[in-house]
Structure 1
Amino acid sequence: MEVTKLEHACQVVTDGEARLVLDPGGLTRPVDATGVVAVVVTHEHPDHVTPEQLHRILRANPGALVLGPAGVAAALADAGLPVEVVTDGDHRTVGPFTLDFHGARHNVIHASVPVVDNTGVLVGGRLFHPGDAYTVPGVPVEVLAAPVGAPWLKVAEMMDWIAAVAPRRAYPVHEATLSEVGFGMHVDRQREALGDGGDLVVLRPGESLTI
């Protein structure tokens, strides 16, 4: 299994000829992948999903499923995009991918900003993408897609969360809100949070990691 990081939150997981797309939002390049069996959308914010991205993926992969929490289904209904609703504790198998879902709510941005549904996904029992939440799945995580910058993110909380999940490896995602200097500073804190037993891999957009 291999994960390719695109810009910001979007990632493409490949197993053989099959692909799984995670969070194809508006801050990444147009996703033109073929062989896509499923798209997982963790929540409805446009940096994680846009109708344009999903329509493009589904035109190229008409049999692909779109999975996400209830808020995603409601947000995409007017665009004619069917979403199979998943939430915390659900399990699905799509093609070669086993998908276990963890968490139910987005991290708080501010008291004035509504908290939306957010459900992270553990792919193949190995790769955990949390969306925009500090969800600790309560099961071993080999590789963690770790948000590194966001309006809701506090560095101290980010470090505590990474330490609690305790993955063997992690790579930073959700970087579009940061300058290069800020990205480097936050990545250093992620590396510290992993400790001596973990490895942080910085993937630039388009780079891949074998899992």
Structure 2
Amino acid sequence: MRLTKLEHAALILEDSGKKLFVDPGSYTTAITEAAQAVAIVITHEHADHWTPEQIDRILSRNPDARILAPAGVAAAAGALPVEVVKAGDEIEVGPFTLTFFGEKHAVIHESIPIVDNVGVLVNGTVYYGGDSYSIPEGVEVDVQAVPAGAPWLKIGDVMDYVLAVKPRRSFPTHEMTLSKAGKEMSNARIKWATEQNGGTFHPLEPGDTLDI
């Protein structure tokens, strides 16, 4: 399986010639290379994780691709054929086995509603928690996508999150709100936390890949 990081929170997983898109949102360049997509996972309803335009681009090339997301996304998505998933669900689509964890977005502020959020484990190896610190209990995570910058995020909490998950490998995601200096600072902290349990940090930039 190959992972490709796109801008901000978006990822592509490829296996056996098929693609899985995760969180193609408003901070991600318009997706045009979408052939052979079998599914789209959306962790929550915020626009930086999905937009109708990004979904339409993928579906125009792959009309049978499944959209998997929590109830909040289904409510916001109108006529899009969203299949609602929740913690504990396991779904097979093409060569991908998707296991879902968690229920809610991390708290931004008491004045801002907390929305539904699911983390996803792909093929038992790659874990992305969306905008949460949900831990995939009972799973040895090979690769963790680690949020590096967000209004809801404190880097100390991120470090504790990585220490709890104990991935063999990690890389940064959710960092389009950061300056170059901010990315370097967050990367250094995530690297430290990953290495405490013998893992390796990969400072992936948009377009970079990781073989799994």
Residue 58 of structure 1 aligns with an amino acid whose one-letter code is: L
For 2:59 and 2:128, locate their aligned partners in 1 and report how far apart those are by CA, in whole Å: 22
For 1:134 and 1:39, locate their aligned partners in 2 and report how far apart those are by CA, in whole Å: 21
Match of 1:147 in 2: 147
For 1:123 and 1:25, locate their aligned partners in 2 and report how far apart those are by CA, in whole Å: 19
Cα deviation for residue 41 of structure 1 reads 0.1
Match of 1:206 in 2: 207
Could you tell me which runs of 5 or more consecutive residues in structure 2 were left unpaired when the two chains were aligned.
none
Could you tell me which runs of 5 or more consecutive residues in structure 1 were left unpaired when the two chains were aligned.
none
* Contact persistence 2:7–2:176 (CA under 8 A): yes
For 2:28 and 2:98, locate their aligned partners in 1 and report how far apart those are by CA, in whole Å: 23
Which of structure 1's runs of 4+ aligned residues deviate more than 6 A?
Answer: none
For 1:159 and 1:57, locate their aligned partners in 2 and report how far apart those are by CA, in whole Å: 34
Instruction: Output the aligned Cα RMSD.
Output: 0.6
Deviates more, 1:194-203 or 1:162-171: 194-203
Cα deviation for residue 24 of structure 1 reads 0.5
Residue 160 of structure 1 aligns with an amino acid whose one-letter code is: D
Question: What TM-score, normalized to structure 1?
Answer: 0.98
Match of 1:132 in 2: 131
Q: After superposition, what is the alpha-carbon deviation per residue over 1:15-41, rounded to whole angstroms, capped at 9, x for unaligned?
A: 021000000001001112110000000
Q: After superposition, what is the alpha-carbon deviation per residue over 1:28-83, rounded to whole angstroms, capped at 9, x for unaligned?
A: 01112110000000000000000000011101101100000000000101xx2110
Residue 30 of structure 1 aligns with an amino acid whose one-letter code is: A
For 1:60 and 1:104, locate their aligned partners in 2 and report how far apart those are by CA, in whole Å: 31
Residue 52 of structure 1 aligns with an amino acid whose one-letter code is: E
Match of 2:55 in 1: 54
Q: Secondary structure at the match of 1:99?
A: strand
Match of 2:158 in 1: 158
Count of matched residue pairs? 209
1:103 maps to 2:94: no
Q: After superposition, what is the alpha-carbon deviation per residue over 1:71-101, rounded to whole angstroms, capped at 9, x for unaligned?
A: 0000101xx2110000000000000000000
For 2:164 and 2:182, locate their aligned partners in 1 and report how far apart those are by CA, in whole Å: 23
Match of 1:75 in 2: 76
The residue correspondences of 1:2-13 to structure 2 (distance < 5 A) are 2-13=2-13
Match of 1:64 in 2: 65
Q: After superposition, what is the alpha-carbon deviation per residue over 1:118-159, rounded to whole angstroms, capped at 9, x for unaligned?
A: 001000000001100001111111100000000000011100
Q: After superposition, what is the alpha-carbon deviation per residue over 1:88-115, rounded to whole angstroms, capped at 9, x for unaligned?
A: 0000000000000000100000000000
Percentage of pairs with the same residue = 53
For 1:4 and 1:108, locate their aligned partners in 2 and report how far apart those are by CA, in whole Å: 28
Match of 2:85 in 1: 86
